[in-house]
Structure 1
């Protein structure tokens, strides 16, 4: 097999497993609540623990990646991810399960940002958009394929079995990465740990790129968290029917990411993100007006998630080009901004959707998407950094 294809497959596998784990917990909440004898709201802390540790770990692990290299970070992250996933289903004590989920988030935080950094190190500028789109689509496939498969396994066996399978596959991926993934970006930056952060935040271009990522995540995932709630309230869809509807979102996200890899090279990455976020603005704004027809709602959700997926994928490409010497730090911080945007969007939409109206929630997310479009258009300068490939390893 061609070495670049093999590298892409391995990195894809990492993100597919993380995507499955990220989305699979939501449909399991009622089952986990019953098994561990806690309230459904309390079970929601499993998601909080995962997200919190992802943000915290990804912030502080960036400089370490620049010092020891991407492959080692991915290996450690996936090993922790695999063991923590298995541990999630091993106990009937909620507190221990909570710790297991926190460790799963920490493992994902080690691995995921370094996948983007690895792409920046290993692939040429001309290849990055397409490779990034392929890798990013693994998250969508985790939602389209992994979550239904895991839900079926949970229904016919137990939710614990789903985590055992997920962790076992992750162990196999760890072995394959150890054996076949070339070293890349190893020890590219030996400078002081804290100087790495200072160097990053003193660069205006990088900071505004982080803010773009924050607002894209806010608009995209903030409202998506409550899409199932809106479907139930507006169209009276039950859980299974809402799940089928959400496949539309996953497919739209997947198609958007794939088109992004081709179109962004033609129109320019910065311009592409600016346009795709404007499409998000329009589709988010009109979503509440489609409540009279589920077909129109489905079309609008498809367009929204396609534009959101395209924006997300190309922002990863733009950020990887901002700094070769501190790429691990930059990508880790970018992921932290992404998860911070997701958490902020979910929290604010959660407040407005209960106390005000769904229209107000869509309006807030539209403003967030517009902010992303304006920031990248006005303040971000697209770079065309040429980084030599390390295809032969080191």
Structure 2
């Protein structure tokens, strides 16, 4: 707990920041069936709307990471929170699909500033021995927000379909103000750098291409697969439960909330132990296997509690992959914490975009296809990593 409340409680406040940023992404999930009916949307349109958030996150994440290295972590976190608050307010007041898209695009820019700022801030205030634990706390908050967001949206939607977004705008705005007052700057002026390396001046497409040469590229690929699998699963999960099992918003919210809470408890209880005994890479192997099998299993269970239990396993796998991968990246980043954190966000966002769009398109073809695609991707990634390790060991 000392780590959480050191530096004026910086890590605890960072957890709140990243939780809200990720929760904002998923608030829309339980209201999607209603939006589809009201606006006459297709599954593909829902996928595009979900992906819009990740598109601007992808485009602006490298810039957000570099900006954090040059002007400081606190400033980009606060600006990102302010943009996110405005985007949630716009969504609440929207009366057309175009305003909904504008809201999601602006929210993605906000998260593109928040995520690398928070990850780099965490690296700044932890030692290498504390790094996995610190990032584990941040990842727990992030995963909880990402997964519990739909649950919160479902509960709040009982009071009106727009209420979740009004509440989110108010809470995020308050936390932005709190961060201005309470959050210290993690970098001294002497530590602020100008991005002089040629790689850091290039566009994000060039950066993605160049990152294949980095020692941590495989870890970035795992984060891309995680983004794909999680968004593929979550984008149409409410639609899937509504169409196949006749779940209402409260039922969807309950399954997602229980899955999120238990998954995070598993992460907090097991992550540090697993990393110390197995190492980050083996934790990723284990989680990819668990996630792939569990996503396939969701297609074959039918009772309320069986669906809930399988969902818990799915979220537990997600909650273990992200901090293990982020810890590996942070250890390899050296003084370029903001830049590498930006790449972390970029690859996760790219996976989220592909997963969201694919989920919507595949859902229009068959209810089961999004989950077949997500489960297969996890298992293919696992096999690829194991083959790569075998080749390296025999070389």
Q: Does 2:193 match 1:192?
A: no
Unaligned runs of 5+ in 2: 390-395
In the TM superposition, what is the alpha-carbon distance from 1:214 to its structure 2 partner?
Answer: 0.9
The corresponding residue for 1:120 is 123
Where 2:332 maps in the other structure, the secondary structure is: coil
Q: Does 2:376 match 1:367?
A: yes
Moved more, 24-33 or 338-347: 24-33
Select the residue among 54, 62, 65 that pairs with 1:51.
54
Confirm or deny: 8 A CA contact 1:63 1:193 kept in the other structure: no
Confirm or deny: 8 A CA contact 2:61 2:116 kept in the other structure: yes
The corresponding residue for 2:159 is 156
Where 1:322 maps in the other structure, the secondary structure is: helix
The corresponding residue for 1:21 is 24
In the TM superposition, what is the alpha-carbon distance from 1:176 to its structure 2 partner?
Answer: 2.3
d(CA) in 1 for partners of 2:33 and 2:238? 15
In the TM superposition, what is the alpha-carbon distance from 1:147 to its structure 2 partner?
Answer: 4.5
366 and 46 in structure 1: CA distance in 2 versus 1, 3 angstrom threshold: closer
Q: Does 2:66 match 1:63?
A: yes
In the TM superposition, what is the alpha-carbon distance from 1:188 to its structure 2 partner?
Answer: 4.3
In the TM superposition, what is the alpha-carbon distance from 1:30 to its structure 2 partner?
Answer: 5.7
Q: Deviations over 1:174-207 (max 9, x none)?
A: 2222222222246543233743267862643222
229 and 58 in structure 1: CA distance in 2 versus 1, 3 angstrom threshold: same
Q: How is 1:178-257 mapped onto 2 (pairs within 5 angstroms)?
A: 178-185=180-187, 187-192=191-196, 194-196=198-200, 201=211, 203-257=213-267
The corresponding residue for 1:324 is 334
Q: How is 1:129-144 mapped onto 2 (pairs within 5 angstroms)?
A: 129-142=132-145
266 and 181 in structure 1: CA distance in 2 versus 1, 3 angstrom threshold: farther
Q: Does 2:292 match 1:289?
A: no
Select the residue among 88, 92, 99 that pairs with 2:91.
88
The corresponding residue for 1:177 is 179
Moved more, 237-246 or 149-158: 149-158
d(CA) in 2 for partners of 1:254 and 1:100? 29
Unaligned runs of 5+ in 1: 381-394
Where 2:87 maps in the other structure, the secondary structure is: helix
| Structure 1 length-normalised TM | 0.82
Aligned residues: 375
225 and 206 in structure 1: CA distance in 2 versus 1, 3 angstrom threshold: same
Select the residue among 274, 277, 281 that pairs with 1:270.
281
In the TM superposition, what is the alpha-carbon distance from 1:268 to its structure 2 partner?
Answer: 1.2
Q: Deviations over 1:250-292 (max 9, x none)?
A: 234323431223422332111111112122222233332334x
Confirm or deny: 8 A CA contact 1:136 1:257 kept in the other structure: no
| Structure 2 length-normalised TM | 0.82
Confirm or deny: 8 A CA contact 1:19 1:139 kept in the other structure: yes
